[in-house]
Amino acid sequence: MCLFNVLAEMMMREALDGYNGRVQIEGRLLTNLRYADDIVLVACSEDELQELVSQLDRVSSTAAGII
């Protein structure tokens, strides 16, 4: 499980690198919510959400080739 968490963290950091969109909730800027093996991507618009999903897909495809 530890290896999964490390890989998931690395993928999320790379997918969010350079992403500027954020949602403000009670003064906090959010791009995602993570708990255990669940990830929720948060965006202000459908286009921003699609950008996040595409970036995560690209990163996960690259990671799948490494494993």
Domain boundaries, the chain: 2-62
State residue 21's pLDDT score.
Answer: 82
State residue 67's pLDDT score.
Answer: 62
Mean pLDDT, residues 5-15? 89
pTM: 0.76
Mean pLDDT, residues 13-36? 88
How many other CB atoms are there within 10 angstroms of residue 49's CB atom?
A: 14
pLDDT above 90 as % of the chain: 39
CA 10 – CA 14 distance, rounded (Å): 6
| 28 and 18 Cβ atoms separated by less than 8 Å | no
Closest alpha carbon to 49 in 31, 36, 24: 31
For the record, the structure tokens of 3 come out as 């290896």
State residue 4's pLDDT score.
Answer: 84
